[in-house]
Structure 1
Amino acid sequence: MALETCGNCLSCLLIPLALWSIVVNILLYFPNGKALHAASYQLSNYVWYFEGICFSGVMVIIFIFFFPVQSFLSIVLALLGVAFSGYSCIIFTLGLIQGPFCNSSDGWGYIFKDTAGGYLTDYLAWSRCTEPANIVEWNIILLSILIALSGLQLIICFLKVAAELKRTLCGTYSVFVQVTKYLR
């Protein structure tokens, strides 16, 4: 009973996490609050996957509304929530490792792609990205938030799977109660 209550409570936490994923993913399209770079497609290719909007956002919200559905469907949907939030977490991590798409002395490109994420602690190298201004910090902060949000969604969906499996495999159903009622 406690695990089921916990699972239902944790489902409620998915709503703000999904909404924050949508908002933060949208912010990635507007470095420094400007639409100039999105309009000219000068953003990281991982931003264009819409992970925070589609999978960590809308799809998780859809799954939240289906969580009350009983047994098998609820388990399948929770597993899909694990898959989608896990996939989003991986894509956000790859985007963070690759680095932003920016303008440097060599032109537009992924100037940190060969650093395997080493640029994250090489603050002096960040100045190589001249446009959009502060794009390295922008991407690091927002992608880190999205990784954390989708990671929390992954954990909550996994706990939901455990709660639904426990309820399905160990729960008491009215069919069993009726059978024992007639045996007396």
Structure 2
Amino acid sequence: MCSGSCAKCLGITLIPLAILCLLCNILLFFPGGSVADNNDHITDEVWYFGGIFGSGALMIFPALVFLGLKNNDCCGCCGNESCGKRFAMFTSIIFAAIGVVGAGYSCIISAVAIHRGPRCFNTAGAWTYPFLDGNYLSNNTMWEECVKPEGIVPWHLTLFSMLLIMGLVQVALCGFQAINGLIGTICGDCCGCGGSED
């Protein structure tokens, strides 16, 4: 498979992942699926925009660059017909690094949020974080500490776990493209300038 075609496949995969991460982060602004009475009732990590910025908007740039690599026809520069494709593949390494940073940021925020647990109205009658040491993950009877919003713990866990998993997939895909881009930079696109167009 040509390095450009491989990059296009990665770009096609990254776009729906970025959209899903964006949606997950937006849903986290509605704790338990309901509108928060006060912004202070929303978990702090939601405001760090890991899914909106890191795995969402920032991931669109690498995805679009990867999509365009297959059709890059900058051939014949500098007396070498493949130098344009080599430069494009080199550029994709930089955008892959941006993707790794963005998705890595989202993963860190998600992991911290999962460990810390959600902010909720607890049995003591205060809005706080009752699960600060992460022990609620293996003991779901502790979830009863959160009185409201209703269903906040599974809501929090599900959405942040999805963000973490999708972020890890994005890191892997961007890391793979960095390797693919390095090979394309050194060896050129195996299809060459006269290769068949899909």
- Compute the TM-score of the two structures, normalised by the length of structure 1: 0.85
TM-superposed CA distance for 1:8, in Å, is 2.2
Aligned equivalent of 1:111: 130
Corresponding residue number in structure 1 for 2:180: 163
What's 1:51 paired with? 50
CA RMSD of aligned residues (A): 1.7
Q: Which runs of 5+ in 1 are unaligned?
A: 174-184
Question: Where does structure 2 lack aligned partners over 5 or more consecutive residues?
Answer: 70-87, 191-198
Q: Which residue of 1 aligns with 2:41?
A: 42
Please report how far the alpha carbon of residue 105 of structure 1 lies from its aligned counterpart in structure 2 after TM superposition: 2.7
Report the more deviating stretch, 12-21 or 1-10: 1-10
Provide the C-alpha distance between the structure 2 equivalents of 1:133 and 1:108, rounded to a whole number of angstroms. Answer: 14
Counterparts of 2:189 and 2:28 in 1: how far apart (Å)? 47
> What per-residue deviation string (whole Å, max 9, x for no partner) do you get for residues 93-133 of structure 1?
111000001111331111111x2x22112111000011111
C-alpha displacement of 1:172: 6.0
Conserved in 1, the CA contact under 8 Å of 2:53 and 2:102? no
Query: What are the superposed Cα offsets for residues 33-62 of structure 1, whole Å, 9 maximum, x if unpaired?
Result: 21124x432011001111101110111012
Contact preservation (8 Å) 1:102, 1:129: yes
SS at match of 2:121: strand
Q: Secondary structure at the match of 1:166?
A: helix
CA contact (8 A) 1:103 1:131 kept: yes
- Distance verdict in 2 for CA 1:166–1:33, change over 3 Å: same
CA distance in 1 between partners of 2:123 and 2:144 (Å):
11
Number of aligned pairs?
170
Distance in 2 of aligned mates of 1:131 and 1:123? 16
Equivalent in 105, 117, 122 of residue 99 of structure 1? 117
Distance 1:167 1:131, change over 3 A: same
Tell me if the contact between 1:11 and 1:160 (Cα under 8 Å) persists in the aligned partners: no
1:74 equivalent to 2:73? Answer no
Q: How far apart, CA to CA, are the structure 2 residues paired with 1:168 and 1:153?
A: 22
| 1:132 equivalent in structure 2 | 149
- 1:27, CA displacement in angstroms? 0.8
Please give the alpha-carbon distance, in whole angstroms, between the structure 1 residues aligned to 2:41 and 2:163. 20
**Structure 1 residue 3 displacement after superposition:** 4.8
How far residue 141 of structure 1 moved from its aligned partner, in angstroms, is 0.7
Residues 41-91 of structure 1: CA distance to partner in whole angstroms, max 9, x if unpaired? 201100111110111011101222233361332211111101110121111
CA contact (8 A) 2:136 2:142 kept: yes
Structure 2 length as normaliser, TM-score? 0.80
Question: CA–CA distance in 1 between the matches of 2:90 and 2:178?
Answer: 10
Secondary structure of the residue aligned to 1:130 is strand
